[in-house]
Amino acid sequence: MAARVHALGVISDTHGLVRPEAVAALAGVERILHAGDIGNREVLDALARVAPVTAVRGNNDRGGWASDIPETEVVEVGGVSLYVLHDLHELDLDPRAAGFAAVIAGHSHQPRVEARDGVLYLNPGSAGPRRFKLPISLARLTVTGARVSARLLTLAIE
């Protein structure tokens, strides 16, 4: 029997902005992971209309609306565990030893996918207001059995 394929959307650093291009790029995913710097509760509400959302709090997520959002989250998908936090520099565990297939973080606004020591590291970049000359981006994460892969999507913004 073939392993079930799980499609997840990964977004970060929206800073209060949900672009229609981001919503379109996330269509069809079964879950959305937001790696922090959300901006406000309305962002989470808008994303939740696409798919269930798991979010972590970023360094700019302050105030009452953000108080119940955790700083880290473990997400189980299919047969794998994913570790989500905002700033990769605050990672305080060995992901491989802890059994994580992937570490998902935002903060830098720089999209990146790389495998290190058997763990996939994913930064979807920023889907919010443009910063410097960095692209507006997000990612799609695919889990097939114990295999995790990611594809960065640069959004075409008018």
Host domain of residue 26: 5-154
Q: Which residue has the higher pLDDT, 156 or 69?
A: 69
CATH number at residue 146: 3.60.21.10
The predicted-structure confidence for 16-64, as pLDDT tens digits, reads as follows 999 999 999 999 999 999 999 999 999 999 999 999 999 999 999 999 9
62 neighbors 42 (Cβ within 8 angstroms): no
124 neighbors 11 (Cβ within 8 angstroms): yes
**Is the per-residue pLDDT at 112 higher than 80?**
yes
Please state, in angstroms and rounded to a whole number, the distance separating the CA atoms of residues 35 and 145: 23
The predicted structure's pLDDT at residue 3: 78
The predicted-structure confidence for 126-139, as pLDDT tens digits, reads as follows 999 988 888 999 99
**Is the per-residue pLDDT at 158 higher than 80?**
no
